[in-house]
Structure 1
Amino acid sequence: MKRKYNILILVLLLAFGSCSFTSKVNNDPNKDKLLVQIITLALEQLHFQPKDFNDEFSKDVFNTYLNRIDPLKRFFLKSDIEEFEEFKTEIDNQLLEYDVAFFNLTNERLVQRMAEAKSYYKEVLNKPFDFNKNEEINTDYENIEYVKNKRQLKERWRQLLKFSTISNYDELITSQERDTVAVNGEAVKEKKSLKELEAEARGETLKNLDAYYTDYIEDMERKDWFSMYVNAIVEEFDPHTSYLAPTDKDRFDQQISGKLEGIGARLQKRMDYIKIVEVISGGPAWRGQQVDVGDVILKVRQEKEKAAVSIVGMRIDDAIKLIKGPKGTNVFLTMKKVDGTIKEIKITRDLVELEETYAKSSTVEKNNKKYGFINLPKFYIDFEDYGKRNAASDIRQEIERLKDQGIEGLVLDLRNNGGGSLKTVVDIAGLFIKDGPIVQVRSTNQPKEVLEDEDKSIVWDGPLVIMVNELSASASEILAAAMQDYKRAIIIGSKQTYGKGTVQNILDLNRMVRNSSHGDLGAIKITRQKFYRINGGSTQLEGVKSDVVVPDRYSFVDIGERDQDNPLEWDKIDAVKYDYWNSYFDYETTISNSKARMANNPQLALIEKNAKWIKEQMDDDTYSLNYNTYKAEQKADEKKAKEFDPINEYKTNLTFESLPYEIAMFEKDTVLKEKRTRWHKSLTKDVYVEEALNVLDDLKMTYEIKKVATVKD
């Protein structure tokens, strides 16, 4: 129960953090109108399945936007909503007239209500909570009503803050009980009263909320709120169409390419200060050995400037703009080091590769056979130059390296891979077949296009197993579907993958406007196409159904495309001509063996039982604010949770090893060595990897048996 409470409290606090109680003046009404004009035009003319701007659309935007800016119904009063409802069927008309009156009204009222709410939480947390009182909090915010007056609103805040504080209170009591254990008859620490602990717990809640105000809330500008409004509009078309404000576009490019130009450090704002929270292995800051986690950046000076700019109190996005810069340029940072000293350091900016984005491989032995294991977190690409590092070229290289180690089978892990570049999918699929169609793509009012592998070379023709789960989406599903349709690989994982069968393009909005004086307008990620398997079926909603279904913790949780708002429907088109992979692999026997093995696997049975329990926990929306009841529920849940401890304690007898080229790098890059050590350790405890290798081993054995039998015949 403790984990359940803490997770929910974190979600609630983050919901506060996503909302601003102060809106900085940054108002360009003409830019707002221009943005609405070009986005509505793009949606009408370019979206795969355009929607009509009508009253129903208006109602949906109305509800989505209000739910997004006040998800916990902690700011707006019922009278506010009644006033807003004048616009409920008018938003569509406003969009066609490039009018933002609805946004202006709601944003001004939100700023007002949030400013008022700041006094509520300070007032509530100034008084002790009575944890002996029998009361509950209902967190099903979607189905609760807006309050009628400020008195009721304060009461909602009181309940929420009490809920936040009860967890702090329990942790302090538990910690004190642990720290005051007698040693030789004497207490280690002086014991505090429950009254003192309650006050300390409230203080911690207050400190957390103050930090959210300073770090996030007061940093929000009007343009940030307007971006949320625009996204409420565009996401009515489908879950993957979205507006990317300029900073969001930069982040998207970095994620899809796995690269950025800068100093190679992750930053976080805490109160008014920008702090180093990670030094990226191999980056400029890491190479210079002058920057440590915990250092605070006070000032930034550019190479050709004499004066440094203080970034204390600055928005983190604005600070990052000053720190980032082109490869080869210098930036001077005035740092407050962890030891308290202040010094200015020079860092030469460079191209930073985010290694966690990239493919990585390992060898593993089973039954005296060596197999290869490749993990691909994302189908990354450099849109500016495909010839640079991309997922397809990296996978090819890793396979060649694994072949040099004498592997007899290969596992490709696409779990949690949310997709990426369509071109890299086609190229990766081509590594495993001679040639042929990989995926069909259809655009509105356009003939379908068949994307094919035209390279007749095969990089890997041996046994292949592909691992997926419910979070394998988009490009991952294309690859898994193609290999399944060709009968080239066995797909092992969840009952079905995510179910995202659509293709998005990034449209730079600045290119649609001539000589704009309004600054960077950002971009829109817009659904332009749907893709289909070569057998004609769409992966939209249905995903890819695994050949070997393995239960996991997501089995009963609603996380797929079918559980999103406004998904496009499933459909089917004609299949294309393709030939099954001609080999001696006996898929039917291999799949049958795996099913029999899993039916008798106590670890997988325990995982499925745990998944059902997690679902029950998630469906429970009512929480006690009485400490004794809270503690009793927590103990009951902790006792239940112990039943599932063997899941984390599980260990296989498999041993994973890095390839020689990486081992050579470990001498200089100890961070990379540590990352690989942790990865290999996690693989040895992964029952899904164990079963994937069992399947691979069976494939190898049935291949040899069938080949011998065929030769004799």
Structure 2
Amino acid sequence: MSIAEHFAGQRPLFSAIGKAGACSVLALALLLPGFPGPQAKVEVPDEYQPVSPTIDQARANILIARQLQFTHFRDLGISDDLSDDVFHSYLDYLDGQRIYLTQEDIDAMADIRDMLGPALRTGQLQPGFYVYNLVQQRIIDRLEFALGLLDQGIDNLDFSTDEEILLDRTDASWEADQAALDTLWRKRIKNAVLSQRLNGTEDSSIEENLRRRYEGQLKRAYQARSEDAFQAYMNAFTSMWDPHTSYFSPRTSENFNINMSLSLEGIGAVLQSDNEYTKVVRLVPGGPASKQGQLQPADRIVSVAQDDEKPVNVIGWRLDEVVDLIRGPQDSVVTLEVIPANATDETVTRTIAIQRDEVKLEEQSASKSVIELERGGEPRQIGVITIPTFYADFQAMQAGDPNYKSTTRDVRKLIEELESDGIEGIVIDLRNNGGGALHEANDLVGLFIDQGPTVQIRNAKNEVQVLEDEDPTVAYDGPLVVLVNRMSASASEIFAGAIQDYGRGLVVGSQTFGKGTVQAVRPLNHGQLKITQSKFYRVSGGSTQHKGVIPDIEIPSRIDKTRIGEDALDHALPWDQIESVPHTRYFDFSAVIPELRERHSERFDTNPEFKLLQKEIEFLKKQRQMDYVSLNPEKRREHYDQIENTRLAITNARRELRGDEPFESLDELEDWQEQEAANPDSTDAESDFVIREGGQIMADLVELDRHMASIEQSSRLAAQAGPQ
């Protein structure tokens, strides 16, 4: 009997069980563990207990399906055509690197691939659980194979051949059969051994590290739970609508904020599952990780260690369990082993020690500084206001505290202080600001305009709500520049877009993230569903979704836009536009932007800092474009030395520009980087450079504004004088 024939004879689980549960024994007997598999039957060892769906999960599946069809912003039905997409999305989640399953396995699941859509409509979870159990069995097979190779000793691995290994297998074909997969895994282990040898690790330690990694993953595979399969399956299903719609299990729902940030007695990082890894999405401003400086977005966590204890390998762990390891008592130290976002392959890791702490509101607060420039022999002062996030102390506000903290209140005070210092323009720095309180973005726009709309919000029924600044007062009406980068998202994009649409200031930097959707969390009988229900639109009508905000003047960044940003996510909602709403246009920058860009380019063409930044970006780009690495020690060492020498050369060139002594070795560079990371007051070279360039553009703007004002005044005087 084929898979399709087996499932065709069953009623939906929800219907088979009934309200009274009288048929529960029969229904549970029909679940996965005992049903016949495809022609290529999966052999399940005694140690592994296949997981089965529950009645509550079946009911939750039906509720999720209804919510997606009738309340999600995207109008997408659960058709038969959806089956194939869900199937591949599910496999991407379970085996995204194509290292456990074979093409034989995929072919054997052809019937399942065609039935997922109808089954998900009616709460039949058995097909999805079958796939999950098959993958778990294949994971166990592979890890036992890897441990068997280690038992033979890594000194028996043959490195004399000129083999290569593909670094990123996301788009690779499935290996044909088990023999081909054995070859792949031999290469994977050789790659891991070679990378650690090049780092100077002894063979005994390499073998211990790898054994600990594989044994830890094997233990997790044997401990698979029904909830793991259900959450993975539901998230493959919900991701068809958009990447921000997801299912939270009951345990995750109890502590929803761990999916948003580890800000309370943690490290202050937003984490998410990424295949078998836990990936850093962004850092919480003012949090321990942000202040420590080494952890970066797109880093993947390999292991977690408490104080001086041995690290625990967390590859293959559930997100909530990784979070539990990372959280801990305030002032204690957690050490993360991570694969850096720009690593050449998954065996290149670095260790980062972070002292746990609470994220305090005052550490997320807006702050000010003054840039002093010289133009034509005259000093110029430009004010800078850095806003890490859009915040508000809601408890103090509700308690009636007249001095409660918020972004808008704090920025208003900083503007007053800067104006009293005699600044000629203000730069608002929103780089790395991931958003926050929407009403604060609305109010902040109001500090720079008289009155008017700030953002439009459209729901699935095409109903549009317009948020407005109703306060006619203006805190600052002088020249304005807004700095953004790829990590500027959500509320930051609303503010930057409004300033650009009103012609109130210039936007400078790199294209923003493109997060222009609104989610709501809805309870289910079993867990919760976070579902996208609305989209943001600028007052000019264009959405901030997918496209983000395009700067008037672009400054390149180290951040890889192909890996970070809304347009890098599968099934992201597209950019579109609606009608604009009436709003004042304070200034038309189109007349001066060409001149501003030309001056900016001239500075960059002769600026050694920018040349180094370009060289570093190109270096990182080449690293990311590497598809294969050699498993030959000599070739690998040559490649490794080239990368590390380039990195050292760029760092030393930057130090020489600043009058610092160059480093003699990579070890000396890495020691310095650790010391810098431990100093929260240290200044990042790119950040300092971009802020100063923002000040230069502001100074250009002030000069051009004065020049144009002078021309206008001359024209008026000439008109008043009349013909001579």
Shift of 1:403: 4.7
Query: Which SS does the other structure have where 2:428 is aligned?
Result: strand
Match of 1:32 among 40, 51, 57: 57
Q: Tell me, yes or no, if the aligned pair for 1:413 and 1:468 is still in contact at 8 Å.
A: yes
Match of 2:501 among 479, 485, 493: 485
Are the structure 2 counterparts of residues 212 and 434 from structure 1 closer, same or farther at C-alpha, using a change threshold of 3 Å?
A: farther
Q: Structure 2: which 5+ residue stretches go unaligned?
A: 1-45, 272-283, 289-304, 311-316, 336-356, 399-403, 660-675, 718-724
Shift of 1:483: 0.6
Are the structure 2 counterparts of residues 22 and 385 from structure 1 closer, same or farther at C-alpha, using a change threshold of 3 Å?
A: farther
Q: Tell me, yes or no, if the aligned pair for 1:491 and 1:548 is still in contact at 8 Å.
A: yes
Query: Given residue 383 of structure 2, which amino acid in structure 1 is its aligned partner?
Result: G
Are the structure 2 counterparts of residues 336 and 687 from structure 1 closer, same or farther at C-alpha, using a change threshold of 3 Å?
A: closer
Which stretch of structure 1 is more off in the superposition, 396-405 or 460-469?
396-405
**What is the aligned partner in structure 2 of residue 134 from structure 1?**
162
**What is the aligned partner in structure 1 of residue 722 from structure 2?**
none
Match of 2:469 among 453, 473, 476: 453
Query: Given residue 67 of structure 2, which amino acid in structure 1 is its aligned partner?
Result: A
Q: Report the count of equivalent residues.
A: 586
- Structure 1 position 600 matched with structure 2 position 606: yes
**What is the aligned partner in structure 2 of residue 567 from structure 1?**
572
Match of 2:135 among 110, 114, 127: 110
Are the structure 2 counterparts of residues 121 and 37 from structure 1 closer, same or farther at C-alpha, using a change threshold of 3 Å?
A: same
Q: Tell me, yes or no, if the aligned pair for 1:24 and 1:221 is still in contact at 8 Å.
A: no
Query: Which SS does the other structure have where 1:137 is aligned?
Result: strand
Are the structure 2 counterparts of residues 332 and 405 from structure 1 closer, same or farther at C-alpha, using a change threshold of 3 Å?
A: closer
**What is the aligned partner in structure 1 of residue 698 from structure 2?**
696
Shift of 1:639: 4.2
**What is the aligned partner in structure 2 of residue 228 from structure 1?**
232
Query: Which SS does the other structure have where 1:697 is aligned?
Result: helix
Match of 1:422 among 438, 451, 459: 438
- Alpha-carbon RMSD: 4.4
**What is the aligned partner in structure 1 of residue 241 from structure 2?**
237
Match of 1:70 among 95, 117, 128: 95
Q: Tell me, yes or no, if the aligned pair for 2:434 and 2:488 is still in contact at 8 Å.
A: yes
Query: Given residue 541 of structure 1, which amino acid in structure 2 is its aligned partner?
Result: H
Q: What are the within-5 Å matches in structure 2 for residues 432-443 of structure 1? A: 432-443=448-459
Are the structure 2 counterparts of residues 256 and 230 from structure 1 closer, same or farther at C-alpha, using a change threshold of 3 Å?
A: closer
Are the structure 2 counterparts of residues 209 and 378 from structure 1 closer, same or farther at C-alpha, using a change threshold of 3 Å?
A: farther
CA distance in 2, matches of 1:613, 1:265: 29
TM-score under structure 1 normalisation? 0.71
Q: Tell me, yes or no, if the aligned pair for 2:263 and 2:269 is still in contact at 8 Å.
A: no
Match of 2:390 among 331, 356, 379: 379
Query: Given residue 602 of structure 2, which amino acid in structure 1 is its aligned partner?
Result: A
- Structure 1 position 506 matched with structure 2 position 510: no
Query: Which SS does the other structure have where 1:108 is aligned?
Result: helix
CA distance in 1, matches of 2:102, 2:206: 29
Q: Deviations over 1:411-435 (max 9, x none)?
A: 2222233333332221121122121
- Structure 1 position 631 matched with structure 2 position 655: no
Q: Tell me, yes or no, if the aligned pair for 1:239 and 1:565 is still in contact at 8 Å.
A: yes
CA distance in 1, matches of 2:226, 2:209: 30
Shift of 1:68: 1.2
TM-score under structure 2 normalisation? 0.70
Shift of 1:69: 0.6
Query: Given residue 224 of structure 1, which amino acid in structure 2 is its aligned partner?
Result: D
Shift of 1:319: 11
**What is the aligned partner in structure 2 of residue 272 from structure 1?**
none
CA distance in 2, matches of 1:91, 1:102: 7
Shift of 1:675: 9.0
Q: Deviations over 1:173-196 (max 9, x none)?
A: 7xxxxxxxxxxxxxxxxxxxxxxx
Q: Deviations over 1:425-466 (max 9, x none)?
A: 211211221211112222233332222111122223232211
Match of 1:124 among 142, 145, 149: 149
Shift of 1:209: 3.7
Q: Tell me, yes or no, if the aligned pair for 2:537 and 2:578 is still in contact at 8 Å.
A: yes
Shift of 1:586: 8.5
Q: Deviations over 1:86-124 (max 9, x none)?
A: 111211101111110122112222232222233212111
**What is the aligned partner in structure 1 of residue 429 from structure 2?**
413
Q: Deviations over 1:480-531 (max 9, x none)?
A: 111111111111112x323333x22222314xx5xxxx5xx1x323222222
CA distance in 2, matches of 1:676, 1:460: 37
- Structure 1 position 366 matched with structure 2 position 373: yes
Q: Tell me, yes or no, if the aligned pair for 2:503 and 2:588 is still in contact at 8 Å.
A: no
Q: What are the within-5 Å matches in structure 2 for residues 52-201 of structure 1? A: 52-126=77-151, 127=153, 128=155, 129-172=157-200, 197-201=202-206
**What is the aligned partner in structure 1 of residue 546 from structure 2?**
541
Are the structure 2 counterparts of residues 700 and 420 from structure 1 closer, same or farther at C-alpha, using a change threshold of 3 Å?
A: same
Query: Given residue 223 of structure 1, which amino acid in structure 2 is its aligned partner?
Result: E
CA distance in 1, matches of 2:59, 2:405: 37
Query: Which SS does the other structure have where 1:63 is aligned?
Result: helix
CA distance in 1, matches of 2:48, 2:396: 40
Are the structure 2 counterparts of residues 256 and 149 from structure 1 closer, same or farther at C-alpha, using a change threshold of 3 Å?
A: closer
Q: What are the within-5 Å matches in structure 2 for residues 654-665 of structure 1? A: none
CA distance in 2, matches of 1:210, 1:462: 63
Query: Which SS does the other structure have where 1:472 is aligned?
Result: coil
CA distance in 2, matches of 1:265, 1:601: 35
Are the structure 2 counterparts of residues 551 and 317 from structure 1 closer, same or farther at C-alpha, using a change threshold of 3 Å?
A: closer
**What is the aligned partner in structure 1 of residue 555 from structure 2?**
550
Are the structure 2 counterparts of residues 590 and 332 from structure 1 closer, same or farther at C-alpha, using a change threshold of 3 Å?
A: closer
Q: Tell me, yes or no, if the aligned pair for 2:520 and 2:532 is still in contact at 8 Å.
A: no
Shift of 1:79: 3.3
Are the structure 2 counterparts of residues 389 and 156 from structure 1 closer, same or farther at C-alpha, using a change threshold of 3 Å?
A: farther
Q: Tell me, yes or no, if the aligned pair for 2:371 and 2:695 is still in contact at 8 Å.
A: no
Q: Tell me, yes or no, if the aligned pair for 2:546 and 2:566 is still in contact at 8 Å.
A: yes
Q: Tell me, yes or no, if the aligned pair for 1:22 and 1:114 is still in contact at 8 Å.
A: no
Are the structure 2 counterparts of residues 253 and 36 from structure 1 closer, same or farther at C-alpha, using a change threshold of 3 Å?
A: same
Match of 1:49 among 67, 74, 77: 74
Query: Given residue 203 of structure 1, which amino acid in structure 2 is its aligned partner?
Result: E
Match of 1:206 among 200, 211, 217: 211
CA distance in 1, matches of 2:327, 2:631: 47
CA distance in 2, matches of 1:676, 1:324: 19
Are the structure 2 counterparts of residues 355 and 259 from structure 1 closer, same or farther at C-alpha, using a change threshold of 3 Å?
A: farther
**What is the aligned partner in structure 2 of residue 578 from structure 1?**
583
Q: Tell me, yes or no, if the aligned pair for 2:263 and 2:287 is still in contact at 8 Å.
A: no
Q: Deviations over 1:583-623 (max 9, x none)?
A: 99995454443233223334324433443343332222111
CA distance in 2, matches of 1:417, 1:337: 25
Query: Given residue 599 of structure 1, which amino acid in structure 2 is its aligned partner?
Result: D
**What is the aligned partner in structure 2 of residue 618 from structure 1?**
624
Q: Deviations over 1:651-690 (max 9, x none)?
A: 679xxxxxxxxxxxxxxxxxxxx99964452268632112
Query: Which SS does the other structure have where 1:420 is aligned?
Result: coil
Q: Tell me, yes or no, if the aligned pair for 1:652 and 1:686 is still in contact at 8 Å.
A: no
Are the structure 2 counterparts of residues 55 and 265 from structure 1 closer, same or farther at C-alpha, using a change threshold of 3 Å?
A: closer
CA distance in 1, matches of 2:551, 2:615: 20
